[in-house]
Amino acid sequence: MANPLLKPHFPREYGREAGQVEKHEYVDGEVFAMAGAGEGHITVCLNVAMVLRQHLKGSPCRTFMADMKVQANADGAYFYPDVVVTCSSRDAQDPLVKREPTLIVEVLSPSTAAYDRGEKFSRYRQLASLQEYVLVDTDTRATDVFRKRSDGLWVLYPFARDQAVELASVALTIPAAVLFDELGSRRRRHPRLTCPADTMAATLDGKLVVAISSRALFDFEGENEVFEQGDDRAYMALQLERLDTPAKPGVAFSLVQKLLAFNTEAAQQVEVVILSRNDPVSGLRVMKSAAHYALPIIRCTFTRGEAPWRYLKPLRANLFLSTHLSDVRSALAAGVPAARSTRSRPMPAPPTRWVRIAFDGDAVLFSDGAEMVYQTQGLGAFQQHETDKAALPLPDGPFKPLLVAMHRLQQAATPAMRIRTALVTARSAPAHERAIRTLMNWNIEVDEAMFLGGLDKGEFLREFEPDFFFDDQTGHIESAARHVPSGHVASGVRNV
């Protein structure tokens, strides 16, 4: 954003700014000249505006682009959003300024991204009518949707590259191909992790990449009690003292061991990377424990207390398992499937050559849009909503990328190692149809589907014997963890 003009305008005068060559935004007595936008920015704005206008045609709602002014409060702030939707009869009476928007979309640029996420969003939140605030990143092609709950709290719903974006305020889902149509192939490049040894592979492309914390892979709960006391030096000394004592297997050990068994000399299909808050000295014990159990793990990152999730993108991770809830939330916000592993005892791996993975549906494989209907309107409305939309695929959830990667690995299975997947959901008929049709639309087959209609999931999972189960609801996780290794997916309306 440009520097404020030397000559201030006043709100009443500014609110009637019209017919001027330049546009200005007004904030707390200062007027800021707006810079022009680039081709990619304008392209995405047009895509959003066109699909909204077509969708809302015939309704009381109107869609406007960057030349329409929005007044954020009585006298303190005026803005030109990239796209704004208003359904207000009061707004229909004023051709120059809108004061009761329902939806605002801003397409980010490097110079304004921080402002759009921070100060501008804080101003927009003062609008009682505003239901959703959308930020579109043309470089990463990721979209953040901030949605206001009935209690007034704002909740982030991140949509990763290639995910359809769900706008609940106007009951619209925009496919990524439509949102970024004609944008081109330019994108921000992320650094890759490369191995210092020349003989080792320099890319993880094409592999199923699992990033895992040391406490999810091994049982370090005793050592962690020392760390939680606030003395990291004592923790390091304890780990060094136990350097030659292999740690016991942790909750996710079985999953990692079986996935790595897919690798052969001819094809390396799975990569497991340690991504840990441990210090490098303590990391020595982690890697020696992995070697003790003959786990072929060669890549690791230790951050000594700093959040390690930011390295997930360079790793092209398909899954992140951690015991730190904040890291899991950050990973999910970045578009990486992530779950907080339970602290229950590790389960012995069933004596089989199958890797078994079980997924919940809503807010895990699928978005939480249908779940929001259930939470706000009840079971009857939910069943009717899903029946009416049975032929419309559910929007992508945070774990769809993992299911896609598992499906790809499943197709490459050998008699030595195979994958079996299950959908384990509280849905029941008739809501089951939309879930099945969505999987068909994705061209993905799951081996088992359990529509339990609210029955306790734990006992069914005990019979399926998954190496890991993923669910967004803590109640289901607590039930499942008594029987099988489980991970809490901290996303969606049940985790706000």
Q: How far is 225 from 214, CA to CA, in rounded Å?
A: 15
CB contact set of 172 (below 8 Å; sequence gap of 6+): 51, 52, 55, 166
- Tell me the two tokens of residue 297: 């793990």
Q: How far is 83 from 67, CA to CA, in rounded Å?
A: 9
Q: How far is 474 from 477, CA to CA, in rounded Å?
A: 5
Closest among 149, 63, 79 to 120, alpha carbons compared: 79
Which DSSP string do the residues of 210-249 spell out, in sequence order? Answer: EEE-HHHHEE-HHHHHHHHTT-HHHHHHHHHHTTTSPPEE
* Contact call for residues 254 and 349 (beta carbons, < 8 A): yes
Using DSSP bridges, classify how beta strands 172-174 and 154-159 pair: parallel, antiparallel or unpaired: unpaired
- H-state helical runs in 278-418: 280-292, 312-315, 325-333, 369-377, 379-388, 400-411
Q: How far apart are the first and last CA of the chain?
A: 32
Catalytic site positions = 360
- H-state helical runs in 302-451: 312-315, 325-333, 369-377, 379-388, 400-411, 432-441
Asked whether the bond before 158 is cis by omega within 30 degrees of 0, the reply is no
Single-letter residue type at 461: L
SS3 99: coil
Q: How far is 154 from 151, CA to CA, in rounded Å?
A: 9
Burial class (CB in 10 A: 0-12, 13-18, 19+), 128: exposed
Alpha carbon 312 to chain centroid distance? 12
User: Phi and psi at residue 242, in whole multiples of 5°?
Assistant: -100, 20
CB contact set of 189 (below 8 Å; sequence gap of 6+): none
